[in-house]
Homo-oligomer: A and B are copies of this chain.
């Protein structure tokens, strides 16, 4: 996380909940990753660099805060799921940066994985983080097997080729142009869906799962709209990664398709829909409202 973002998080009131949730996510990630020096040490070192320091951790935070809105749920399963979701996300970032995908030399302000370790290790980092994500659920205590099994179904679908992140990356390579909304739903919203729905499942709130899925999906869409605007209107120094990549690579981008104003408008609509589904802020949902505000906020330069 860049210092600028950290500062934004800690400036206002109900943030102690968010800060607690962030610490929880970092702790679980660190607990689950093999140590840097465990063989093969080169691979495990590269995995650490791909996960720490993190970005906003928006997906695992969403998972944790949804569970918090029910009083916390099963900490062990919330921790495992939150970390697993972030591991899938980190795997997708390492892969996105490869020369044959986005060919991005920097990520989160640091050299990209393949720049430091080479392409072969970067590809293995992607595989290993993806496998670790599922292993994290498979290694839950046996008495949690029914919930772990359920969450495994949720996470494999959110990552997979038909409706998940991998399918979203593949849509970039299809010979025919793809519909922007479907692309966003796969590539970004799928993990947010799983994060929100999974947080509720860890609390036994089965009847609320479809509502949380929808909330997660909308938050993911809002975030992607913001990312699209940043790619078009931002600069590398602020973003910690190259800007203008979508146009250069011919990738679907909402700001390129409907313009910055149209994109802003659409994003406002999506955020309104999230707020309506969340209802007015209460003690239980205040931190979630804060998260939505934070992860969908325009980049500093654009807002200023």
Q: Footprint of B on A, CB under 8 Å?
A: 34, 38-44, 47, 91, 95, 98, 100-101, 118-121, 123-124, 126-128, 130-132, 134-135, 137-139, 142, 145-146, 148-149, 152-153, 155-157, 159-162, 164, 166-167, 169-171, 173-175
Contact = CB atoms under 8 A, between A and B. Distances in A.
18 contacts: A40-B171, A40-B173, A40-B174, A43-B167, A124-B161, A124-B166, A128-B160, A128-B166, A128-B170, A131-B156, A131-B159, A134-B134, A135-B157, A138-B153, A138-B156, A145-B145, A148-B149, A152-B152
A184 B175 CA distance: 40
A120 B173 contact: yes
A119 B122 CA distance: 14
A161 B44 contact: yes
Contacts of A155: 138
Contact of A152 (B47, B95, B138, B171): B138
A75 to B, nearest CB: 19
A100 B120 contact: yes
Nearest to A98: B123
Given A40-B161, A145-B145, 16 more contacts: A39-B174, A40-B167, A43-B161, A43-B167, A100-B120, A100-B123, A101-B120, A118-B173, A121-B173, A126-B127, A131-B156, A134-B156, A138-B149, A138-B152, A145-B149, A152-B152
Shortest beta-carbon contacts, A-B, top 3: A135-B156, A43-B170, A128-B161
A174 B120 contact: no
Contacts of A128: 160-161, 166-167, 170
A43 to B, nearest CB: 4
A262 to B, nearest CB: 26
Contacts of A166: 43, 124, 127-128, 131
Contacts of A145: 145-146, 149
Residue of A121, A130, A132, A166 contacting most chain B CB atoms (<10 Å): A166
